[in-house]
Structure 1
Amino acid sequence: MRRITQFLRDVGREMKKVSWPKKQELTRYTVTVITTVAFVAIYFSVIDLGISEIIRLVLE
């Protein structure tokens, strides 16, 4: 039990050392991630549609 208590104290100490992002940085990071995910999703959707059409033309 002592080891668990010591571990939790150490975690608390380390969490105080963390440099958390400011609101503006967090907003910028969030927009960047959402934009990147949307771009990749659209990219792969277009690629998938293209490959599907090629396969459909070959099989007909």
Structure 2
Amino acid sequence: MKVYVDQDLCIACGLCIDTCPAVFDWNDEGKSHVIVDEVPEGEEQACRDSIDGCPTEAIKEV
């Protein structure tokens, strides 16, 4: 599973980072970004929860 964060849609709410810190972290602009090439095994559900919970639908699965 691979995901990305659309920087134009991210509002830096931090929900994805709180939900799945193994995949998301803050970037230099203060927005969320993906820190792994592939979602680690065992983190898929937390990552999907981040996708579903994103208020601006900025997180996409590729």
> Please, what TM-score do these two structures have when normalized by structure 2?
0.25
TM-score (norm: length of structure 1): 0.25
Q: Considering only CA atoms, is the larger Rg found in Structure 1 or Structure 2?
A: 1
Q: By percentage of residues, which structure has more helix? A: 1
Q: Which has the higher contact order (CA 8 A, sep 6+)?
A: 2
